[in-house]
Structure 1
């Protein structure tokens, strides 16, 4: 049955649609400009003729990106960090959230107090660096994984989801003789797919986009992740790695190479979202409804 809206509700809905449309344009226009520039000629980029559509369409910029060994080294490093880091993140998050979701756990309030404290007061940069250095993680990929092995915010999301699962189900499993680890991985985890997919997206995007940690802990060029490579190329104007491979007969420029590299580096993480959108929406709405 269609609910009749008042004039105020119609005006409110129309205002929301206009606002969201403008917001989408603000977000999309820079992205479209980058994509258009990556497919445009050097002359068009130099004379600022590229707006929202490629001018003098060509694929030379992408050809050079695909031939650049430094880019693919950084790409493989980032894929490794995203995959291994996300697996570690999920494992530790689940192992911490499940016991804390049980109200009968001894010392639960103390643990939750410590968790909230770490969310409000984060560790300073210099002490964190000294700790990472003291355990020998500087200039290793583990320096980009271990210090951020668990997010307290994501852990609380997972904890809240575990609390929403029926306790009677777990009690029945205990009566049947199942251990707590078996209950966790055979019952709780399969039932928690929406929140786990959501956390997977959160963690993987974090690892894929993170560059500050790499800038602090990584000094060897061969260990640069993709985002640090992009930072070096864009913020510092360093395109020497690509310039050494550019052939004179190709229509390329530093600006076009930067745009093409950004597009290639962004596409993989964008391709993930359509496959997890359904579960992501369920996880994002966690806690919005109370029984």
Structure 2
């Protein structure tokens, strides 16, 4: 019999010494935890400071702008009152909101229908060939001039449809949604077919209600894309009354065009920097408000749709 000089201390073993446990799953030391907290706090400060700077100077008055201080010390709403009274920013916000809502709804409808059709490779003719064709669009594009000539030939210049139809279906979003549909139980769909349900009814009453997570994520992707798009408007829209907010932001903030067209003529002009920062806040705030509500769908929607097996 083998005897031990010292008893084994059961239950006092640290998580770091548990055999078979990966090192990254062990509890870090207090020093490592403190370093992680400091690093995360530094990253948060670096990421939040530009937002705080933009928001603060959008409310700055003339004295705060000319003082050269890192943040304004006195605040005013004159910049927001000026751009909303001018009418250009308000109209461009309505245009962008309409394009985003209509474009997102249509993109979700057509993307989900195409994705579900491409999961039925045995029932849909030329499904595999269509899948290859869609994948090719991820790597090859026609270019600016052919796209412009196509939009012109279709009579869509100066039309809101020129900002929606070219990006109606994203190949990447379609692939993510298709993979999510393929994870649905095939037995559930087959039982519906045995009961006499058509493919469209299966898609509408079974597939879509079970796919709310991926629909929310893909819908957010489309909405952000439509809201932030300005290049198509720059090429296809010549009427300034139809400019979306991002094109207004590009022309009057990035290109530094005269801000007189954005402001009411009967009001004193606020500082130029405050007006520019106010336009940035107005163009960014709606997406920042929507993101937290859709964030809880990200893990389930994206991971389930992107990983097969």
TM-score normalised to structure 1 length: 0.90
Contact 2:83 2:263 in 1 (8 A): no
List per-residue Cα deviations over 1:192-230 (Å, max 9, x = no partner): 000000011000000001111110111111010010011
When residues 67 and 164 of structure 1 are mapped into structure 2, their CA distance, relative to the original with a 3 A threshold, is same
Written as runs of structure 1 = structure 2, the 5 A alignment for 1:250-261 is 252-261=270-279
List per-residue Cα deviations over 1:242-280 (Å, max 9, x = no partner): 3443623x7x21110111121122111211122222223
> In the aligned structure 1, how far is the partner of 2:203 from the partner of 2:60?
53
Q: Which residue of 2 is the match for residue 191 of structure 1?
A: 210
Contact 2:85 2:263 in 1 (8 A): no
Contact 1:139 1:218 in 2 (8 A): yes
> In the aligned structure 2, how far is the partner of 1:19 from the partner of 1:106?
54
Q: Which residue of 2 is the match for residue 136 of structure 1?
A: 155
Q: Which residue of 1 is the match for residue 299 of structure 2?
A: 281
Written as runs of structure 1 = structure 2, the 5 A alignment for 1:30-179 is 30-51=50-71, 54-104=72-122, 105-179=124-198
Which residue, 248, 262, 265 being the options, matches 2:280?
262
> In the aligned structure 2, how far is the partner of 1:15 from the partner of 1:119?
41
Structure 2: gaps (5+ residues): 1-12
Which of the pair has more CA radius of gyration? 2
Q: Which residue of 1 is the match for residue 8 of structure 2?
A: none
> In the aligned structure 1, how far is the partner of 2:223 from the partner of 2:271?
32
Q: Which residue of 1 is the match for residue 4 of structure 2?
A: none
Written as runs of structure 1 = structure 2, the 5 A alignment for 1:173-252 is 173-238=192-257, 239-245=259-265, 247-248=267-268, 252=270
Q: Measure how far apart 1:234 and its partner are.
A: 0.6
Contact 2:118 2:127 in 1 (8 A): yes
Written as runs of structure 1 = structure 2, the 5 A alignment for 1:2-21 is 4-5=15-16, 9=24, 10=28, 20-21=40-41
Contact 1:44 1:50 in 2 (8 A): no
Contact 1:137 1:143 in 2 (8 A): yes
List per-residue Cα deviations over 1:7-36 (Å, max 9, x = no partner): 974388776655554443333221111011
Contact 1:198 1:280 in 2 (8 A): yes
Q: Which residue of 1 is the match for residue 3 of structure 2?
A: none
Q: Which residue of 1 is the match for residue 6 of structure 2?
A: none
> In the aligned structure 2, how far is the partner of 1:116 from the partner of 1:15?
44
List per-residue Cα deviations over 1:54-80 (Å, max 9, x = no partner): 421222222223312111110100001
Contact 2:82 2:264 in 1 (8 A): no
Higher mean Cα deviation, 39-48 or 99-108?
99-108
Aligned residue pairs: how many?
Answer: 286
The root-mean-square deviation of aligned C-alpha atoms, in Å, is 2.4
Contact 2:95 2:244 in 1 (8 A): yes
Structure 1: gaps (5+ residues): none
